[in-house]
Amino acid sequence: MTYRVARDLPAAQQATWSNLLADFTAEVPNPEKVEVVITDEYEKVTGEYLVQEVDRSNDTMTAEQYRADRADGARAAAKTCVLPGDRIVVVASSGLVPYGIRPARHGLLHEAQHVRLHQHGDAAWALHRRAPFTLPEREITWEYLWLAESAIDEYRCERTVHDRGWTDPVNTVGAGDVAGVVATFRAARTAWDRTGDLMGAYHAAFASLDRMSKVLGYGAAGVVSGVIPAAAWAKAPVAGRILDVVENLPGTDALVPPEDLLAAAVEVAKRLRRILQEMGFDYFFTPDGGTYLKPL
C-alpha cells in the first residue's frame, strides 16, 4: 500500500487502512501484481493511472481531464486501473475512512472484485477486443457496448459485495438515484433546445447514460441479492431495464464463458440505446460510417 497524501494521515486512519488492505489482499488472486494507492488528490492520481491503462474507451482523454464527479452529483472515490505488464493499481480516496469503516470496506472490497475479474481474465470490460466479436452496427455503436461491458462488471462486483455481507447501506442505490439520473437527461435536452450545441448535447447525454448504466448495474445487484426490495426498485423509471439480462450472471466467484458475457453486453447495449431514445436523443452510425447524435 502506498500513501500519496499532502500530510500524514492520523495513526487511527492508517491502522484502519492496514486492516482493510488485509481484507482486500485476501480477495485478490495475485496480490503481488496489485498496488493500492491511498490519496487525498483522488482526481489527479486516478487520472495519471487511467491514461496508462491497456484498454481505454477514450484514447484522447488526458490525465488532467479526468473528473470524479458524475452527471447526477455522485462522486467516485475508488478506481481500478489495469496497466501494461499485468499490473493493476487501485486508487482510493483517503476521504473514505473518516466516514467509517463500513463505507471504506464496501468501496475497497468492491474494487477487489474488479481485480479478481481482471486477473481471472473474466472481465466484460474490453472483452470485444480479446474475443472474436462483430459489432451489430445497425443496432448499436461502440459507445453503447463500452458502457454495457462496464455495467456488467459493476453488477458482478457489487453482487459479490452484497453476497459476502459487506454491504454499506449508504453505498446502495434506490429509485431516487434513477430518477436523479433521468433529471440529468432532461437538463441535457433542455440545454440542447436552448443552445443547439450538438457537441455539448453529446457529452451531456452520454455522461448521463454512463451514470445510468452504472446505477442500473448496482441496482440489479442489490435486487438479485435481496439488499434492495424489488418492489421499491421497480417504482423508478427504467430501473429494471437490464435486470433480466444480468440476473443470471454470477458474482466474481465463478467464470462466465466469453460468448455469454458478450451476448449479455450486446443486449444491455441495445437497451441503453432505447433508454437514450426515451430521454430525447438517439446516437447511431451514418451510412458513410460516421456517427451522429440526433435530438428526438
> Does the structure show a pLDDT above 90 at 236?
no
Please state, in angstroms and rounded to a whole number, the distance separating the CA atoms of residues 53 and 59. Answer: 10
Average pLDDT estimate for 60-69: 91
- The mean predicted confidence, pLDDT, of the chain is 96
Domain boundaries, the chain: 1-120, 136-296
Reading the block at residue 196, the C-alpha cell is 443547439
Band (pLDDT 50/70/90 cuts) for residue 74 is confident
Handedness of CA 62, 65, 66, 70 (dihedral sign): negative
CB-based burial label for 269 (10 Å; 0-12, 13-18, 19+):
buried
81 touches 51 (CB < 8 A): no
Residues above pLDDT 90, as percent of the chain: 93
Please state, in angstroms and rounded to a whole number, the distance separating the CA atoms of residues 48 and 152. Answer: 25
> Does the structure show a pLDDT above 90 at 99?
no
Q: What are phi and psi of 120, to 5 degrees?
A: -90, 0
Reading the block at residue 167, the C-alpha cell is 454491504
Residue with cell string 466467484: 253
> What pLDDT, on a 0 to 100 scale, did the predictor assign at position 227?
96
> Does the structure show a pLDDT above 90 at 98?
no
DSSP for 180-208 reads: HHHHHHHHHHHHHHHH--HHHHHHHHHHH
Q: What is the pLDDT of residues 255-293, one digit of tens each?
A: 999 999 999 999 999 999 999 999 999 999 999 999 999
Please state, in angstroms and rounded to a whole number, the distance separating the CA atoms of residues 198 and 213. Answer: 22
Q: What is the pLDDT of residues 179-228, one digit of tens each?
A: 999 999 999 999 999 999 999 999 999 999 999 999 999 999 999 999 99
Residue with cell string 484498454: 55
> What pLDDT, on a 0 to 100 scale, did the predictor assign at position 103?
92
> What pLDDT, on a 0 to 100 scale, did the predictor assign at position 237?
81
pTM of the model: 0.96
Residue 295 is which amino acid? P
> Does the structure show a pLDDT above 90 at 100?
no
> What pLDDT, on a 0 to 100 scale, did the predictor assign at position 173?
95
Average pLDDT estimate for 227-255: 94
Q: Percent helix, strand and coil across the chain, each rounded to 5? A: 55, 10, 30
250 touches 256 (CB < 8 A): yes
**Range in 22-36, 93-107, 143-157, 208-222 the model is least confident about:** 93-107
Please state, in angstroms and rounded to a whole number, the distance separating the CA atoms of residues 87 and 35. Answer: 8
Nearest CA among 15, 220, 217 for reference residue 101: 15
Residues 6+ apart with CB under 8 A from 3: 9, 14, 37, 38, 39, 94
Q: What are phi and psi of 80, to 5 degrees?
A: -100, 125
> Does the structure show a pLDDT above 90 at 247?
yes
DSSP for 20-57 reads: HHHHHHHH-S-GGGEEEEEES-HHHHHHHHHTT-SS-S
Residues above pLDDT 70, as percent of the chain: 100
138 touches 289 (CB < 8 A): no
> What pLDDT, on a 0 to 100 scale, did the predictor assign at position 45?
97
Do β-strands 291-295 and 34-39 pair in parallel, antiparallel, or remain unpaired?
A: unpaired
